[in-house]
């Protein structure tokens, strides 16, 4: 029987083995974004702004023009780029330190300004690159290298729900939280990414897709255990869904 390939590596994702740990969510998220870029045919006018974090080297994997940002400042760099060339499709790719800690002012204001850029925000409830410290998104009771007895609200406060927060801003046109913990969630996540990029292309405002992602290494789990942890522990606190959809005239 004659077979045809129905699924393979997207063109925008370079055939370069990644440095990400086995099972890491970044790999899936990169692939989804690359698939959307291919599907929309926008590779030649897409610019990515890389974060500081495990994804700092993402410009080795995406075949698009790129900036490497200082920690948390990707939205500001993206703003500068997009204002010079509004016809480009500019997206930032950021982790929880980048977006929910050091860069939270930039995160709020890029949305407040309604900048026509997109943020892919990878929430894995931990600081991966630096070895597993607490993130602003770390859950209460979660053990990290800086909350060895489990995060306690009295000393370390409460986790931040970035999507809900950003969705309150009028300049944010599309805000969604997704996960890559199962095939169904991956498929839905891709649709959200596509909607986010379309929001930008239509000039409707700022778009944000928050990905709940697994970090098997720093959670000290196997990849299969880690996707289960996303579904059982993260989703109850960080519900999936669309928090803002554009009102198109």
Q: How far is the CB of 8 from another protein (least distance, A)?
A: 4
Q: How far is the CB of 123 from another protein (least distance, A)?
A: 16
Q: Which is nearer to another protein, 34 or 175 (CB)?
A: 34
| Tokens coding 67 | 């900036």
What's the Rg (C-alpha) of the chain? 17
Do the beta carbons of residue 92 and residue 120 sit within 8 Å?
yes
Q: Which is nearer to another protein, 54 or 159 (CB)?
A: 54
- For 59-64, the CB contacts below 8 A with 24+ separation are 60/14, 60/16, 61/13, 61/14, 61/16, 61/18, 61/30, 62/12, 62/13, 62/14, 62/30, 62/33, 62/34, 63/11, 63/12, 63/13, 63/14, 64/12, 64/37
Q: How far is the CB of 164 from another protein (least distance, A)?
A: 20
Please give the angle made by the CA atoms of 194, 199 and 202, to the nearest 5 degrees: 120
Q: Which is nearer to another protein, 22 or 236 (CB)?
A: 22
- Applying CB under 8 A, the residues found at the interface with another protein are 1-10, 13, 15, 17-18, 20-28, 31, 39, 43-47, 49-50, 56-57, 59, 63-70, 73, 76-85, 88, 105-106, 108-109, 113, 180, 182-183, 186-187, 216, 222-224, 227
What Å distances lie between residue 102 and 93, 96, 108, 234, CA to CA? Answer: 15, 9, 12, 22
Q: How far is the CB of 170 from another protein (least distance, A)?
A: 16
What Å distances lie between residue 219 and 72, 138, 145, 181, CA to CA? Answer: 23, 11, 10, 15
Q: How far is the CB of 245 from another protein (least distance, A)?
A: 23
Q: How far is the CB of 177 from another protein (least distance, A)?
A: 18
Q: Which is nearer to another protein, 113 or 143 (CB)?
A: 113
Q: Which is nearer to another protein, 6 or 148 (CB)?
A: 6
Distance CA 176, CA 231 (A): 16
Q: Which is nearer to another protein, 31 or 151 (CB)?
A: 31
């Amino acid at each position: 029987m004659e077979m045809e390939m129905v699924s393979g590596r997207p063109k925008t994702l370079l055939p370069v083995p990644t440095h990400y740990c086995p099972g890491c969510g970044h790999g899936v998220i990169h692939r989804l974004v690359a698939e959307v870029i291919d599907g929309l045919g926008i590779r030649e006018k897409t610019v990515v702004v890389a974060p500081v974090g495990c994804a700092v080297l993402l410009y080795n994997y995406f075949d698009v023009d790129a900036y490497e940002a200082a920690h948390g400042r990707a939205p500001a760099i993206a703003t500068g780029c997009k204002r010079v060339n509004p016809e480009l499709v500019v997206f930032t790719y950021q982790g929880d330190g980048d977006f929910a800690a050091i860069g939270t002012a930039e995160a709020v204001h890029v949305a407040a300004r309604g900048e026509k850029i997109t943020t892919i925000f990878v929430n894995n409830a931990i600081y991966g690159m630096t070895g597993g410290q607490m993130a602003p998104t770390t859950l209460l009771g979660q053990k990290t290298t800086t909350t060895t007895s489990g995060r306690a609200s009295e000393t370390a406060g409460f986790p931040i729900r970035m999507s809900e927060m950003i969705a309150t801003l009028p300049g944010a046109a599309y805000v969604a939280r997704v996960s890559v913990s199962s095939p169904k969630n991956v498929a839905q996540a891709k649709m959200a990414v596509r909607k986010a990029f379309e929001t930008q292309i239509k000039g409707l405002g700022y778009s944000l897709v928050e990905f709940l992602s697994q970090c098997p290494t720093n959670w000290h789990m196997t990849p299969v255990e880690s996707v289960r942890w996303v579904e059982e522990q993260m989703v109850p606190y960080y519900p999936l869904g669309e928090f803002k959809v554009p009102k198109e005239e």
